[in-house]
């Protein structure tokens, strides 16, 4: 009877074929999966194996070469020979016999020592036991006497044994020492050979590192290449997940890029090659790859190792694909506060400079760039300043008037340009009229007097205008990204009239309290002459009632308000009624990680859909993505392609990333002070005149004939001058250090906080604590002031031959004079004076100050030059003690500088 | 055997070659000369008197004239005639020379010195001078020479023509020609120069004047002969 549900035929069926085929498939799939897992998806193993092999082979070749070199080295060969001879002498002859004897003796002595030691040890343990018994008896209140006696007996035994042990120990030491002495010859030679074999050992180590030895000890062993393994760096808390929790980042790039931090593999192809400028970028002081990995700078998908595309993050939805070439610099700003001057960060530093100075921050907010002042001039009283027709033309196309202006081109149609001008004209009317009331046309203005114009021209070229302004086509001092940071005045008469210029020159802050234009402390005559000269630059406009009428039309004013607001003019200019306007552009704080989907490419199909292409083209041609439906407002800056790329590198680095402190570069107070100072220096264009931190001093090109008449370079200023002095001088530079210079340090009218920024900047740059100098004359060693005075005097160094001392001026033409040393006490840091006297050329190459040392006189302070320099410094610091007025009264009667000394002595 | 042989031969060879080279460098067995004069054509301005603006007591003892263009009977002085590149020939003697500042003026106005030789700078003026070289190849030097330092010794290691000025006395200016080989000559009032014992060959002769610039002339030198070279500068 058939069982229910069971098919008897089925039972008889054979599944052999199916199982056979199945098992074959299983084997094949199994093999394939092993292959895939170990070969196809493990490209890094191939790379690593190749590198290991190359590494080993190169080391082996180098070792062979080194060995050859050693063999050819007669010193080495001699040593090897000596060693062989020495070894041979130990095996035979007198020494050999003695050595064999000693070795035998050593064995005996060892046994003797062991036995003696053992005996003592036994007694000691018996003593331990006896002490225990004794203590036990005492604790139980029993009679401890017998135990005590037992102890004493044992102690006597130990004492009796000890001399023998001591003798055995000594014998043992003696034998050892003698053996060592006999072998000393070999050891000495070995040491010398060791010293010569440093390179050999290095190659050997390299070979060892590339190999592993397998097989149990005592059996034949095999040396194989090291088995490739994942090279992984874990950066703790480096990343943040979607819940803003810190998570670690895993970086396995070095599994393929195994030679990245090894010198000498520059010739290998990627991924095995050495990192370019390895010693700069990968040093322990910079970014050691074992700590930082690679993705911190280069991005990519650090965990991925299966394929090149995956590892480099060139796959869909990976937001940070590999950065190559200059683009890597984008990431410098994530960890470095200051990229200016940072080696290898030149491109991003340039991008940053452009970003800060061309006006980007007027419309775009970026964290960390929020405080940058508006780059355009104030339009608060613009009606009092500009020619109306000029204004309309300027708004319509600024580069037509000044090809290198920072003001961008908005592609306004004429109606909009007129409207914008009308609004600005109307909005500034009230304040302009007030200003005009207080600023009448000056009397004595003689624009037709050729001598006056000539004097004005002389002044314009000498008093300091050239530090910032160009006066003719192509003349400039500070330029960035092809832009003049300060207007070129070659056509100034077409733009403004003499009345405005005159008052602007006399007191720029009266027209605009926030202007960066300083006062040159011009006298009335000087200002008039300068005005007359400037009015010869360009064509004066005719009064144009028609334009004024158009500007005053209410419809235009109303339309203008909309235009000015829409295009965000207030981002760069101070405009009455628009003080509260916010930035009209998109915030760019995280622009670098903006996904492609969020970038609008408009209808242009010629532009590749990548972040880089989008960004480049947006800056290159800001309206390129506009469509009939989508309006675009960004104006055209006309930047050179190279600079657009630099800007793009900076933008690429605008990503939201909270890097843990451990990975950040210097974010100290000092770094912050440098950043702040650098920005303020840019704003006021200090580098137009002064060399600061090795850059700038652009005005010096006008002084090639006589560089000593140029504004002084300020390298190392923080170390040189006293903070108090600089703080005061910056706020009021009326008493110049070098009164003979025609070029004047202008009065910028810095307030305390502004002056502080500079003082801190220079101190931070020189890595000095703000040097508040206190000189205590009481602490000057006896005789130093007198010695200093003698050295200073006309009998020795004749310092007064060039240096001014208050009212005491040197002979000869002023251009040969040197700074007033009566100011030194207030101004200079004594440590700096010492360094300066010791080697002036080192601190300021090319200076007129000669070096007196070495070469001091024999008869002062015993010819000790160090003491002489100290004495001179003490004396110079004491010079300033005498108030200038008193020096005048005493006049020439006193010995040069004597008054200071006397004063100092009185104080001391 | 072979090895021992070579170990003897190689040093011997080196010694021989060195000796031979030394002899070759030291003296020119058969050489030629170049000689001639430097002329100036054009109007010669009257020598400008230098104004002594300070330290008059010490410096204004005798009248001083601008020496940047010294011409006498059409002959140009203070011209350096030299050959920058000579293979072989005489050795540089490195003989010491003296630069005198007596009366606050450089004497000679154009000083020629062998590279590496001692230059003794004299200060008999009882006044502070400083020696400031405007060099581009040698390390620029600005050394004070106070009155108590009557002698100062300096050295210049690399061939160069450099200006030297005193910053204390604006009028004091001169030139130092640092020679890389012994084939040079500085013209005096007669404008004459001669370069002697040159190995035979073709040379680019440089004729330098501080104001009139440098001329280059190609001259062929034959053994035992004196090639004539007259140079003219136009004002
Ligand atoms: Cu002098």
For residue B76, pLDDT beyond 70 = yes
> How are beta strands B110-114 and B173-179 bridged, if at all?
parallel
* Ordered DSSP codes for A332-348: HHHH-S--TT-TT-HHH
Same domain, A415 and A560: yes
Residue A130 within a domain: yes
Residues of B in contact with A802 (CB under 8 A): 167-168
Contacts of B223 (CB under 8 A, 6+ apart): B30, B31, B32, B200
Summarised one tens digit per residue, pLDDT across range A277-294 is 998 899 888 899 999 999
Mean pLDDT over A844-852 rounds to: 86
Q: Identify the band that residue A511 occupies on the pLDDT scale cut at 50, 70 and 90.
A: very high
Do A796 and A743 lie in one domain? The reply is no
A691: containing domain? 668-765
From chain B, pick out residues whose CB is under 8 angstroms from the CB of A852: 144, 146
Mean pLDDT of chain A: 87
pLDDT at residue A773, as a whole number: 63
Q: Hey, are the CB atoms on A796 and B132 less than 8 Å from each other?
A: no
* Residues A731 and A783 both lie in one domain: no
| Mean pLDDT, chain B, whole residue set | 84
Q: Is A49 contained in some domain?
A: no
CA B14 vs. chain centroid, Å, equals 35
- Among candidate residues A739, A816, A869, the one with its CA nearest the CA of residue B132: A816
Q: Does the residue A584 lie in any domain? A: no
Choose among A35, A43, A40: nearest CA to A252: A43
Which region holds residue B103: left if phi is over 0, alpha if psi is between -120 and 50, else beta? left
User: Does residue A761 sit in the same domain as residue A784?
Assistant: no
Give the A window 193-232 contacts with B, CB below 8 Å: none
Indicate if the pLDDT at residue A39 is higher than 80: no
Question: A78 at the B interface (CB within 8 A)?
Answer: no
Same-domain pairing of A513 and A401:
yes
Q: Confidence class of residue B13 from pLDDT cuts 50, 70 and 90?
A: very low
- Residue to substitute from A801, A810, A858, A860, interface B, most B β-carbons within 10 A: A801
Q: Which among A783, A775, A790, A777 is positioned nearest to A831, based on CA atoms?
A: A775
Is A568 in contact with A584 (CB distance < 8 Å)? yes
Give the Cα separation of A220 and A317 in Å (integer): 53
CB atoms closer than 10 angstroms to residue A629: 7
A721-774, pLDDT tens digit by residue? 888 888 888 888 887 788 778 888 999 988 888 998 998 899 888 877 765 666
Distance from CA of A800 to the nearest CA of B (A): 10
Neighbours of A348 (CB within 10 A): 30
Question: Please, are residues A895 and A792 in contact by the beta-carbon 8 Å criterion?
Answer: no
Q: Is residue A870 part of a domain?
A: yes
A908 and A778 Cβ atoms separated by less than 8 Å: yes
From chain B, pick out residues whose CB is under 8 angstroms from the CB of A810: 54
Same domain, A467 and A395: yes
B90, two tokens: 């005489």
Nearest to A812 among B130, B143, B170 (CB): B170
Exposure class string for A769-802: b at 16+ Cβ within 10 A, else e: ebbebebebeebeeebbebbbbbbbbebbbbbbb
Chain A residue numbers with beta carbons less than 8 Å from the beta carbon of B128 are 797-798, 801
ipTM: 0.81
At residue A810, does pLDDT exceed 90?
no
The residue from A156, A181, A202 where one domain ends is A202
What pLDDT is recorded for position A856?
Answer: 87
User: Quick one: pLDDT at residue A447?
Assistant: 87
pLDDT value of position A658: 80
What pLDDT does A628 receive?
A: 84
pLDDT score at A770:
64
Among candidates B207, B205, B179, B216, which has minimal Cα distance to B40? Answer: B207
| CA distance to partner chain B, nearest, from residue A705 (Å) | 13
Distance A807 CA to ligand 1 centre (A): 24
Task: Verify whether the Cβ–Cβ distance A850 to B170 is below 8 Å.
Answer: no
A752 in Cβ contact with A792 (< 8 Å): no
The mean pLDDT of A598-614, rounded to a whole number, is 88
What pLDDT, in 10s, does the model give residues A142-198?
888 888 888 999 999 999 988 889 999 999 999 999 888 888 888 888 998 898 888
Q: Is residue A24 part of a domain?
A: no
A541 burial class (0-12, 13-18, 19+ CB within 10 angstroms)? middle
Q: Cβ–Cβ of A813/B143 closer than 8 Å?
A: no
Domain with A689 in it: what CATH number? 1.10.760.10
CB atoms within 10 A of CB B26: 10
Non-local CB neighbours of A588 within 8 Å, separated by 6+ positions = A364, A365, A366, A651, A654
Which tens digit of pLDDT belongs to each residue from A106-143?
899 999 999 999 999 999 999 999 999 889 888 988 88
* Structural contact between residues A353 and A333, judged by C-beta atoms closer than 8 angstroms: no
Burial of A555 (0-12, 13-18, 19+ CB in 10 A): exposed
Separation CA A322–CA A256 (nearest Å): 15
For A389, residues 6+ apart whose C-beta sits below 8 A from its C-beta are: A541, A544, A547
B interface with A, Cβ–Cβ below 8 Å: 53-56, 127-128, 130-132, 140-144, 146-149, 152, 167-170
Asked whether the predicted pLDDT for residue A901 surpasses 50, the reply is no
Distance A861 CA to ligand 1 centre (A): 27
**Segment among A319-323, A393-397, A570-574, A834-838 with least mean pLDDT:** A319-323
Domain boundary among A699, A730, A765: A765
pLDDT at B193 over 60: yes
Q: What is the CATH number of the domain that holds A157?
A: 1.10.287.620
- Indicate the residue of B128, B140, B170 with minimum beta-carbon distance to A816: B170
Residue A472 has pLDDT above 70, yes or no: yes
In Å, how far is B128's CA from the nearest CA of chain A?
Answer: 6
Picking from B7, B122, B168, B235, the residue whose alpha carbon sits closest to that of residue A818 is B168
With cut-offs at 50, 70 and 90, classify the pLDDT of residue A775.
Answer: low
CB pairs under 8 A between A and B: 67
A42 inside domain: no
Interface of A with B in 819-858 (CB under 8 A): 840-841, 845-852, 855, 857
Q: How many domains does chain A have?
A: 4
CA distance A898 to A734: 28
Nearest to B53 among A802, A813, A848 (CB): A813
Cβ atoms of B34 and B205 within 8 Å: the answer is yes
**Is B167 close to A801, i.e. CB distance below 8 A?**
no
Q: Are residues A165 and A196 in the same domain?
A: yes
d(CA A373, CA A680): 10
Instruction: State the sign of the Cα–Cα–Cα–Cα dihedral A665, A670, A675, A681.
Output: negative
Write b or e for each residue in A719-736: b if 16 or more Cβ atoms lie within 10 A of its Cβ, otherwise e. bbbbbebbbebbeebeee
- Burial group, residue A592, by CB count within 10 angstroms (0-12, 13-18, 19+): buried
Q: Say whether A796 and B146 touch across the interface (CB within 8 A).
A: yes
Q: What is the pLDDT of residue A715?
A: 85
In a domain, A314, yes or no: no
Residue A718 has pLDDT above 50, yes or no: yes
Domain boundary among A202, A226, A258: A202
Measured between CA atoms, the residue of chain A closest to residue B147 is A796
CA of B69 from ligand 1 middle (Å) equals: 21
Residue A66 lies in a domain: no
CA angle A351–A353–A359, rounded 5-degree value: 100
Full set of structural domains in chain B with CATH: 30-234 (2.60.40.420)
Together in a domain, A744 and A813:
no
Tell how far the Cα of B102 is from the centroid of ligand 1, in angstroms: 10
CB atoms within 10 A of CB A468: 25
B160-181 pLDDT, tens digit per residue, is 999 999 988 989 999 999 999 9
Quick one: pLDDT at residue A535?
A: 93
Question: For A545-568, what is the mean pLDDT?
Answer: 91
User: For residue A437, what are the contacts with CB-CB under 8 A and spacing of at least 6?
Assistant: none
Asked whether residue A396 falls in the same domain as residue A525, the answer is yes
Does residue A785 share a domain with residue A717?
Answer: no
Residue A821 and residue A760 share a domain: no
In this structure, are A393 and A532 located in the same domain?
yes
Please tell me whether residue A239 adopts helix, strand or coil conformation: strand
Residues of chain B found within 8 Å of residue A795, distances taken between Cβ atoms: 147-148
Q: DSSP for chain B?
A: -HHHHHHHHHHHHHHHHHHHHHHHHH--SS-EEEEEEEEEES--PPPPBPP--S-HHHH-SS--B--SS-EETTEEPS-EEEES---SSSPP----EEEE-TTTS-BSSEEEEETT-EEEEE--SSS-EEEEEE-SSSPP-EEEE-TT--EEEEE--S-EEEEEE-SSSTT-EEEEEEESSS-EEE--TT-EEEEEEEPSEEEEEEEEETTTEEEEEEEEE-TT-EEE--EEEE-
Measured between CA atoms, how close is A893 to chain B, in angstroms? 19
From CA A419, how far away is CA A417, in angstroms rounded?
A: 5
Tokens 């053994």, residue? B223
pLDDT band at B1 (very low <50, low <70, confident <90, very high): very low
Q: Name B213's bridge partners.
A: B209
């Amino acid at each position: 009877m058939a069982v229910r549900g069971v098919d008897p035929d089925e039972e008889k069926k054979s599944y052999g074929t199916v199982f056979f085929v199945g098992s074959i498939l299983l084997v094949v799939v199994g093999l394939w999966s092993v292959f895939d897992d170990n070969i196809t998806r493990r490209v890094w193993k191939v790379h690593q194996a190749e590198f290991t092999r190359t590494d080993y082979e190169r080391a082996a070749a180098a070792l062979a070469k080194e060995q050859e070199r050693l063999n050819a080295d007669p010193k080495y060969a001699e040593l090897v020979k000596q060693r062989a001879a020495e070894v041979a002498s130990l095996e035979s002859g007198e020494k050999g016999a003695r050595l064999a004897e000693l070795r035998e003796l050593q064995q005996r002595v060892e046994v003797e020592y062991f036995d003696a030691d053992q005996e003592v040890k036994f007694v000691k343990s018996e003593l331990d036991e006896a002490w225990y018994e004794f203590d036990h008896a005492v604790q139980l209140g029993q009679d401890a006497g017998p135990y005590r006696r037992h102890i004493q007996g044992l102690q006597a035994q130990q004492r009796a044994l000890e001399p023998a042990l001591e003798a055995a120990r000594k014998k043992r030491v003696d034998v050892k020492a003698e053996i060592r002495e006999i072998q000393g010859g070999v050891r000495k030679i070995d040491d010398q050979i060791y010293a010569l074999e440093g390179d050999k050992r290095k190659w050997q180590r390299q070979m060892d590192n590339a190999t592993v030895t397998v097989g149990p000890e005592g059996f034949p062993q095999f040396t194989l290449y090291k088995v490739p393994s994942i090279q992984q760096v874990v950066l703790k808390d480096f990343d943040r997940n979607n819940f803003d929790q810190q998570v670690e980042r895993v970086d396995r790039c070095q599994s393929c890029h195994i030679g990245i931090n090894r010198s000498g593999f520059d010739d290998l192809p990627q991924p095995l090659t050495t990192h370019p400028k390895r010693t700069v970028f990968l040093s322990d002081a910079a970014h050691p790859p074992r700590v930082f990995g690679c993705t911190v700078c280069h991005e990519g998908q650090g965990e991925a190792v299966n394929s090149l595309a995956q590892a480099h993050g060139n796959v869909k939805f990976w937001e940070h694909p590999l950065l190559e070439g200059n683009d890597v610099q984008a990431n410098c700003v994530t960890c470095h506060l200051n990229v200016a001057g940072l080696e290898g960060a030149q491109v991003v530093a340039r991008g940053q400079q452009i970003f800060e100075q061309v006006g980007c921050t007027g419309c775009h907010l970026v964290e960390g760039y929020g405080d940058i002042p508006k780059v355009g001039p104030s339009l608060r009283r613009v009606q009092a300043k500009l020619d109306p027709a000029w204004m309309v033309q300027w708004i319509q196309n600024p580069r037509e008037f000044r090809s290198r202006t920072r003001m961008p081109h908005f592609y306004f149609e004429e109606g909009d340009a007129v409207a914008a001008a009308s609004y600005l004209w109307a909005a500034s009317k009230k304040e302009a009229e007030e200003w005009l009331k207080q600023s009448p046309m000056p009397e004595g203005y003689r624009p037709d007097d050729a001598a006056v114009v000539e004097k004005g021209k002389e002044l314009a070229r000498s008093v300091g205008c050239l530090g910032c302004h160009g006066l003719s086509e192509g003349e400039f001092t500070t330029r960035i990204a092809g832009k003049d940071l300060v207007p070129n005045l070659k056509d100034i008469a077409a733009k403004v009239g003499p009345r405005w210029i005159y008052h602007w020159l006399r007191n720029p802050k009266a027209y605009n309290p926030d202007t960066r234009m300083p006062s040159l402390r011009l006298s009335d005559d000087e200002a008039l002459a300068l005005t007359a000269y400037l009015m010869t630059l360009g064509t004066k406009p005719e009064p144009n009632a028609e334009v004024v009428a158009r500007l005053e039309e209410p419809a235009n004013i109303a339309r203008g308000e909309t235009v000015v607001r829409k295009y965000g003019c207030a981002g760069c200019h101070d405009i009455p009624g628009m003080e509260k306007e916010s930035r009209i552009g998109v915030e760019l704080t995280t622009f670098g990680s903006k996904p492609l989907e969020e970038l609008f490419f408009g209808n242009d199909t010629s532009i590749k859909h990548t972040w880089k292409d989008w960004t480049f083209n947006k800056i290159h041609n800001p309206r390129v993505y506009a469509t009939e439906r989508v309006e675009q407002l960004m104006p055209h800056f006309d930047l050179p392609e190279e600079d657009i790329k630099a800007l793009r590198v900076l933008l690429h680095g605008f990503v939201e990333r909270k890097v843990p402190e451990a990975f950040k570069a210097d974010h100290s107070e000092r770094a912050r002070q440098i950043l702040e100072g650098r920005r303020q220096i840019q704003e006021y264009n200090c580098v137009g005149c002064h060399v600061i931190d090795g850059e700038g001093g652009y005005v010096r090109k006008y002084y090639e004939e006589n560089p000593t008449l140029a504004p002084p370079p300020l390298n190392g200023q923080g170390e040189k001058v006293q903070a108090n002095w600089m703080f005061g001088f910056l706020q009021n530079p009326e008493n110049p250090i070098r009164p003979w210079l025609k070029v004047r340090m202008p009065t910028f009218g810095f307030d305390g906080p502004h002056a502080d920024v500079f003082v801190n900047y220079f101190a931070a740059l020189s890595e000095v604590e703000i040097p508040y100098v206190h000189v205590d004359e009481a602490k000057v060693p006896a005789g130093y002031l007198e010695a200093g005075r003698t050295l200073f005097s006309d009998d020795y160094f004749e310092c007064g031959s060039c240096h001014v001392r208050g009212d005491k001026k040197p002979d000869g033409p002023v251009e040969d004079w040197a700074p007033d040393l009566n100011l030194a006490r207030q101004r200079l840091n004594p440590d700096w004076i010492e360094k300066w006297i010791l080697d002036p050329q080192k601190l300021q190459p090319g200076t007129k100050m000669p070096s007196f040392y070495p070469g001091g006189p024999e008869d002062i302070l015993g010819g000790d030059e160090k003491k002489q320099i100290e004495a001179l410094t003490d004396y110079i610091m004491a010079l300033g003690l005498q108030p200038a007025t008193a020096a005048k009264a005493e006049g020439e009667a006193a010995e040069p500088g004597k008054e200071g000394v006397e004063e100092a002595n009185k104080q001391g | 055997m072979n090895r021992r042989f070579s170990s003897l031969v190689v040093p011997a060879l080196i010694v021989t070659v060195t000796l031979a080279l030394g002899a070759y460098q030291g003296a020119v067995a058969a050489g030629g000369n170049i000689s001639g004069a430097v002329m100036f054509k054009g109007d010669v301005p009257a020598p400008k008197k230098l104004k002594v603006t300070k330290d008059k007591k010490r410096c204004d003892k005798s009248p001083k004239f601008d020496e940047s263009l010294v011409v006498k009977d059409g002959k140009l002085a203070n011209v350096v005639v030299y050959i920058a590149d000579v293979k072989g020939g005489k050795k540089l003697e490195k003989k010491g020379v003296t630069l005198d500042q007596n009366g606050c003026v450089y004497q000679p106005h154009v000083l020629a010195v062998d590279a590496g030789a001692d230059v003794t700078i004299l200060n008999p003026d009882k006044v502070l001078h400083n020696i400031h070289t405007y060099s581009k190849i040698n390390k620029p030097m600005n050394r004070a020479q106070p009155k108590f330092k009557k002698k100062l010794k300096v050295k210049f290691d690399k061939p160069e023509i450099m200006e030297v000025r005193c910053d204390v006395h604006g009028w004091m200016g001169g030139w130092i020609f640092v020679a890389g080989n012994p084939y040079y000559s500085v013209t005096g009032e007669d404008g004459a120069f001669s370069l002697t014992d040159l190995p035979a060959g073709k040379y680019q002769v440089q004729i330098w004047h501080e104001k009139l610039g440098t001329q280059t002339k190609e001259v062929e030198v034959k053994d035992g002969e004196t090639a004539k070279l007259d140079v003219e500068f136009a004002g």
